[in-house]
């Protein structure tokens, strides 16, 4: 049994202009210990996909389909039950470490509450365990820093704290929503390396969302390319980079700037704009921007290879 199995997931948001479908009939599965990279441009539905998994959609959001985690159905689960999974079996890291920690509480308070709530530890042992976890994400002098407030940490350090917090209960699945996007490049590399290390140490599965293909190449086993709320390509990481089959993936890969080309070369970009999620075309969502379009693209989705 896969760790996570998503079937025909549709996530929509009710707005005054109509229902916006951020995730459209999407299915995939994730094995234990596997790292799945999810790429796509802004608005492709990556974040809403993972927010759907832990049931944290905005109040006007709605899910259909099925999300099975360790055999348990998460769609339609009661808040009490989903709270037993969030932060415990599924850890989550968000994009912007500068704003995601609570600036009014000490790091100790924010970390220990997870252990106290999920594992019933007392404060002293929860704090001891939290310090160990901060050590594991290489926060220097964790023992004294744990009593500080988030604004006393740099961006990279805060993201390490977020990671440590997400891993406190040794979750089976870690969801990372662009964990390195808001950080500068050297810190990005450190964070990605850290996640690799921690995965080897704790053996959890990871869903890594990013729009940085370099990050994907560095960490993933499999890659899922999203466009317009749908999967347009899914493949093992080497295969995807070697032999991208969907024109959108090909376009994405061509858009990566390279250092090894001689002279000044104009950067490649995919012409056009992402589709309006209020009115998605019946066929392939990429149809308006695709350079290899054929008539069939207009009424049917290209099969996943």
Partner 1 sequence: MLRYSLKRLLGAIPTLLILMTLAFFMMRMAPGGPFDTEKSLPPEIQANLDKKYHLDEPLIQQYGRYLLDVVRGDFGPSFQYKDYSVNELIATGFPVSLRLGLSAIAIALVVGVGLGTIAALRQNSSADYTVMTLAMTGISIPNFVLAPILILVFAVYLGWLPAGGWNDGAFKNTILPIIGLALPQIAYISRLMRGSMIEVLRSNPIRTARAKGLPERVVILRHALKPALLPVVSFLGPATAAVITGSVVIEQIFGIPGLGRYFVQGALNRDYTLVMGVVVFYGILIILFNFIVDLVYAMLDPKVRYS
Interface residues toward partner 1, by CB under 8 A:
54, 56, 59, 79-80, 82-88, 92, 94, 96, 99-106, 113-114, 117-118, 149, 151, 162, 165
Nearest approach, Cβ of 151 to partner 1 (angstroms)? 5
Residues in the chain: 305
Nearest approach, Cβ of 116 to partner 1 (angstroms)? 10
- The nearer residue to partner 1, 46 or 230, going by C-beta atoms, is 46
Helical pair 185-202 and 155-167, crossing angle rounded to 10 deg: 20
- The nearer residue to partner 1, 155 or 281, going by C-beta atoms, is 155
- The nearer residue to partner 1, 162 or 213, going by C-beta atoms, is 162
Nearest approach, Cβ of 182 to partner 1 (angstroms)? 11
Nearest approach, Cβ of 98 to partner 1 (angstroms)? 9
- The nearer residue to partner 1, 167 or 213, going by C-beta atoms, is 167
Nearest approach, Cβ of 108 to partner 1 (angstroms)? 13
What is the per-residue DSSP string for the chain? --SEEEEEEEEEEEETTEEEEEEEEEEEEE-TT-EEEEE--TTSSHHHHHHHHTT---TTEEEEEEEEETTEE-TT--HHHHHHHBTTTEEEE-S-HHHHS-TTS-HHHHHHHHHHHHH---HHHHHHHHHHHHHHTT-TTHHHHTTS-GGGS-HHHHHHHHHHHHHTT--SEEEEESTTTTS-HHHHHHHHHHHHHHHHHH--EEEEE-S-HHHHHHH-SEEEEEETTEEEEEEEHHHHHH---SHHHHHHHHHS--SSS-S--PPP---S-PPPTTS--SS-TTTTT-TT--GGGGTSPPPP-
Residue 235 bridge partners (DSSP):
223
- The nearer residue to partner 1, 111 or 194, going by C-beta atoms, is 111
Nearest approach, Cβ of 114 to partner 1 (angstroms)? 5
- Say how far apart CA 297 and CA 285 lie, in whole Å: 9
Nearest approach, Cβ of 179 to partner 1 (angstroms)? 13
- Say how far apart CA 302 and CA 180 lie, in whole Å: 32
Nearest approach, Cβ of 74 to partner 1 (angstroms)? 13
Cβ–Cβ under 8 Å, residues 200 and 33: no
- The nearer residue to partner 1, 17 or 242, going by C-beta atoms, is 17
- The nearer residue to partner 1, 103 or 303, going by C-beta atoms, is 103
Beta-sheet pairing, 230-236 with 222-227: antiparallel
- The nearer residue to partner 1, 171 or 229, going by C-beta atoms, is 171
């Amino acid at each position: 049994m896969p760790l996570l199995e998503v079937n025909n997931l549709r996530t929509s948001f009710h707005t005054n202009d109509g229902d916006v479908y951020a995730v459209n009939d999407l299915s995939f599965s994730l094995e234990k210990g596997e790292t799945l990279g999810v790429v796509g441009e802004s608005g492709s539905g990556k974040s809403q996909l993972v927010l759907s998994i832990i049931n944290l959609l905005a109040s006007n959001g709605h899910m259909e389909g099925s999300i099975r985690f360790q055999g348990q159905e998460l769609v339609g689960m009661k808040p009490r039950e989903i709270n037993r999974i969030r932060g415990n079996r599924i850890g989550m890291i968000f994009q912007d470490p500068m704003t995601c920690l609570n600036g009014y509480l000490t790091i100790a308070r924010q970390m220990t509450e997870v252990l106290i709530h999920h594992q019933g530890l007392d404060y002293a042992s929860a704090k001891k365990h939290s310090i160990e976890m901060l050590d594991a994400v290489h926060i220097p002098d964790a023992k004294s820093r744990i009593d500080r407030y988030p604004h006393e940490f740099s961006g990279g350090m805060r993201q390490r704290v977020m990671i440590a917090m997400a891993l406190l209960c040794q979750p089976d699945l870690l969801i990372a929503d662009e964990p390195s996007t808001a950080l500068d490049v050297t810190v990005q590399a450190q964070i990605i390396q850290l996640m690799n290390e921690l995965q080897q140490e704790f053996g959890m599965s990871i869903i890594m969302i990013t729009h940085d293909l370099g990050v994907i190449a560095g960490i993933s086993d499999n890659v899922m390319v999203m466009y317009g709320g749908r999967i347009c390509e899914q493949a093992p990481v080497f295969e995807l980079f070697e032999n991208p089959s969907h024109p959108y993936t090909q376009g994405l890969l061509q858009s990566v700037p390279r250092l090894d080309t001689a002279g000044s070369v104009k950067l490649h970009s995919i012409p056009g704009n992402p589709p309006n999620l209020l009115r998605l075309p019946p066929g392939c969502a990429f149809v308006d921007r695709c350079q290899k379009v054929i008539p069939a693209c207009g009424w049917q989705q290209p099969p996943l290879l």
